[in-house]
Amino acid sequence: MHISDHLLKLRHVVRDMEEVAIAYSGGVDSTLLLKIAREELGGGASAIVCSSGLLGSGEVEEAVRTARYLGVEARVVKMEMLSRPEIATNPLDRCYHCKKAIFQEVARVARSMGIETVADGTHSGDLDGDRPGIRALRELGVRSPLAEAGMDKKEIREASQALGLPTASKPPSPCLATRIPFNEVITPEKLRQVDEAERLLRELGYGQVRVRHHGPIARVEVEPGHLAQAVEDREIIVEGIRAAGFTYVALDLDGFRSGSMSEALPGRKRSP
């Protein structure tokens, strides 16, 4: 099916909702969904942004600005995720507990606004592999129009580009908890260290980065094509990351890859 067919199907899926509250992150997926919902439903499209304490600095503010650009005034809901032991202790199913807590809150806020349908930016590619958060969405009846329309990440970026959305090439930015090894307690201090270190790398021009927190060691992932540049920039990188609170700075020669914290788990294969 051509991208235009999938986009047309997305419009039909959204139009049939009549009213929808979108759990909005400001990323490429939820921004396309909000754009289409605004076009198809007008004032029937709402955006709810969760300020969870697990996002990088500026992410919530950027999401609000992007929603406003689309003509939607997002509602921001603050949550203290680290007050929940099932999240702060960072178990293997942390993502399930986190998604469940967030969408329960989004649904509560939506109902207070008189809206019954809650949707998110999950796409068809998210349904593959081990994603505990998907179980939470299904349990709570959250709709995923992009997945329902059969759109994958590549098509979402292409559609976003065609529609002139500012997020078309925005890199993924999962919550900072993904930088902490499983079963190690997540603390505000660890999240701050990671956030500051990653912000430094982005300011140096490294778009897709991760700084994995291994106690005193920061394991830095940049895209494979940027490894040589990172070695050249090593002095400023080391100085900046040490200033964030780490003692040692290690450059991961495998380069950036999603979910690398899972590679150390028994029976898990390393990412290609």
Q: What average pLDDT does the chain have?
A: 93
Q: Which 3 state secondary structure label does DSSP give 83? A: helix
Which candidate, 230, 246, 247, 249, places its Cα nearest to that of 238?
249
Check: CB of residue 107 under 8 Å from CB of residue 140.
Answer: yes
Q: Of all residues in the chain, what percent are helix, strand and coil, respectively (each to 5)?
A: 50, 10, 35
List the structure tokens of 196: 């500051």
Residue 131 predicted with pLDDT over 80: no
Q: Which residues contact 209 (CB under 8 A, 6 or more apart)?
A: 198, 201, 202, 220, 221, 222, 256
pLDDT tens-digit readout, 13-51: 999 999 999 999 999 999 999 999 999 999 999 999 999
pLDDT of the residue at 82: 96
Supply the pTM of this predicted model: 0.90
Check: CB of residue 186 under 8 Å from CB of residue 177.
Answer: yes
Domain with CATH 3.40.50.620 in the chain: 3-162
pLDDT tens-digit readout, 242-259: 999 999 999 999 999 988
- pLDDT band of residue 134 (cuts 50, 70, 90) is confident
1.10.357, 3.30.70, 1.10.3470, 3.40.1350: which CATH number matches 176-264?
A: 3.30.70
Quote the CA–CA distance of 144 and 121 in Å, as a whole number: 6
DSSP result, 107-167: HHHHHHTT---EE----GGGGSS--HHHHHHHHHT-B-HHHHTT--HHHHHHHHHHTT-TT
3.30.413.10, 3.40.50.620, 1.10.10.10, 3.30.1280.10: which CATH number matches 3-162?
A: 3.40.50.620
Quote the CA–CA distance of 194 and 174 in Å, as a whole number: 13
Domain with CATH 3.30.70 in the chain: 176-264
* Residue found under tokens 């964030």: 244
pLDDT of the residue at 214: 97
Quote the CA–CA distance of 135 and 133 in Å, as a whole number: 5
